[in-house]
Structure 1
């Protein structure tokens, strides 16, 4: 039976959360053969491998454990994309989980869907605050096929890793050279296959449950600042691939993707201005020098940046950053 979905589950130091994650994937018996779950142990020093092997033993048609040396998140995605047999490919972090009922319906629907992209809703789970927050797409019509060359402007907010399933062939067509041993490479999985995708289908179901608040989580501001060079590497690679392929895009798709890149460029400015003054001065100058050399410099350097800097910087640093921005 053809696998309809490959789930790539990167596993590193998450043994506490892994059983909940994997239990959420146990669905109706007749649907399990349609599912492939690649449990990729990225040199994890805890007992995650033993936990994963229990699921592989119990559900050998669905779960497969891949044990590898530590290479970081990008190396796991690269391995999963290379080995996946499913028509669609999706990523589930091992400290997150799926709503089981929504997942069962999702796999059922994949039997008949044939678009390059399928997106769903997701929920942020603030488990230590005992609250949840649903992220839906209220302006996007469910159960409609969208032409990404002509209608992509209607899909703001759709291309987030937690929402996305791409056709595996489309992901492979993107030929993503994931940087190893850095964080935030999920951005590339979410963004680069879009260059080649032709159509999208939206299912308004709260599938992905995204844990917020775990110690050491890569989305924590302090962690982002500490690993900022990885962020820069990912942004530069995203922009480089855009410049290679923009001539093959429709004007509407090009504008949509450029707007996404602009958001990342501006985000990186915000990261840098929260450093100590000496580091901020040096790294802002280097980053600004790179941005200024891009053909899209005027797009990236509108008044929003100056406004952001003014609002978040001490005045004496704002004067400096405003000065280099004008140079």
Structure 2
């Protein structure tokens, strides 16, 4: 059995997919790389096929009709044979030395489990990631060393405080494949920003975590057509709302709180950030329709889960992004701009 499955969803990725796939090959024969061609119109399928022919023991290719990034992840998860599972976007890449260290740990844990089935292995590996502004030759590193003990199997009760800038994204996560399947996570099709659902919904199923203080994932920032480009996010506000709504409803945090209070606290903060981003984008659009969409989102949450509604509106960051009037709008957007300059997330 393969130790890890990397899924690379590709859509018109001919200009940069080689860098991504080449970086994954350093994982060696213990890895399975599934390239999902999501109905590309360029040379993506031919490039993928060339890799499959050259590395038939490592690379698989799935060609499908266009369904969006989430659809590619769903198909990859269905087909994955690896013990662990990681999504790598086709314009991103992994650091060679960090990947080799990760694979060493994964191999050791899998060997221990093979020798003794009662041995505990991580349900979730966590590694650092880098916002890589390649064209500007700058980078911003996100690490978790203040919140997690390094290279020790721990539980949620052992975690420290996650700052707003360092919540766990898909880039930092390597889940055990069975955990993802047990969680029932399924991403909506034809929708961007679904990585937030993937990073959030499976967490209550994770019992054991393992943090490695290595800069594994390079998250490329800088393409004009990139989904996190602000103008594109504004044009896709309906998709941001769709993701937010699914995140608000996919986990009962009151149930989580009874079992894992520290995890519930973290997940509340994650929801607060997602709700804040959605509010801010709607404020930026500054139209009557956007105002109605924002009010509708809060009203639906109130009806769905009044306790969560009260917590997000009156006891979290998201409430600060819902201040009334033009002054409230100006303060909110100004705060967002400051965070944007500091953390360079798009």
TM-score normalized by structure 1?
0.89
Distance 2:244 2:198 in 1: 13
| Residue from 115, 139, 150 that aligns with 1:132 | 139
Q: Displacement, 1:111?
A: 0.7
1:323 equivalent in structure 2:
none
2:80 equivalent in structure 1:
84
| Pair 32,245 (structure 1): closer, same or farther in 2 beyond 3 Å | farther
| Pair 151,59 (structure 1): closer, same or farther in 2 beyond 3 Å | same
The answer to whether residue 152 in structure 2 is matched with residue 144 in structure 1 is yes
2:340 equivalent in structure 1:
none
2:42 equivalent in structure 1:
46
| Residue from 274, 281, 285 that aligns with 2:291 | 281
Q: Displacement, 1:309?
A: 5.2
Q: How many residues align?
A: 313
1:33 equivalent in structure 2:
29
The answer to whether residue 24 in structure 2 is matched with residue 11 in structure 1 is no
Q: Displacement, 1:265?
A: 1.6
The answer to whether residue 210 in structure 2 is matched with residue 201 in structure 1 is yes
Query: Do the aligned partners of 1:9 and 1:94 also contact (CA within 8 Å) in 2?
Result: yes
| Residue from 302, 311, 315 that aligns with 2:314 | 302
Q: Displacement, 1:50?
A: 0.9
Write out per-residue CA displacement over residues 132-157 of structure 1, whole angstroms, 9 at most, x where no aligned residue. Answer: 22212231221111202x12444553
Write out per-residue CA displacement over residues 42-101 of structure 1, whole angstroms, 9 at most, x where no aligned residue. Answer: 001110111111111111111111100001111111111111000000000001111112
Find the residue that maps to 2:108 and give its secondary structure. coil
2:115 equivalent in structure 1:
none
| Residue from 171, 180, 184 that aligns with 1:171 | 180
| Residue from 48, 63, 70 that aligns with 2:66 | 70
Distance 1:100 1:196 in 2: 30
Write out per-residue CA displacement over residues 214-264 of structure 1, whole angstroms, 9 at most, x where no aligned residue. Answer: 121111111111111111111211221112883574233222212211221
The answer to whether residue 104 in structure 2 is matched with residue 108 in structure 1 is yes
1:256 equivalent in structure 2:
266
2:220 equivalent in structure 1:
211
Query: Do the aligned partners of 1:153 and 1:256 also contact (CA within 8 Å) in 2?
Result: no
| Pair 59,199 (structure 1): closer, same or farther in 2 beyond 3 Å | same
Find the residue that maps to 1:213 and give its secondary structure. coil
Distance 2:280 2:87 in 1: 28
Q: Displacement, 1:162?
A: 0.6
Distance 1:159 1:112 in 2: 24
Q: Displacement, 1:279?
A: 2.3
| Residue from 172, 181, 184 that aligns with 2:190 | 181
Distance 2:168 2:53 in 1: 35
TM-score normalized by structure 2?
0.84
1:227 equivalent in structure 2:
236
Query: Do the aligned partners of 2:36 and 2:64 also contact (CA within 8 Å) in 1?
Result: yes
Find the residue that maps to 1:183 and give its secondary structure. coil
Find the residue that maps to 2:252 and give its secondary structure. helix
Distance 2:177 2:161 in 1: 24
* Unaligned ranges ≥5, structure 1: 319-327
Q: Displacement, 1:128?
A: 1.7
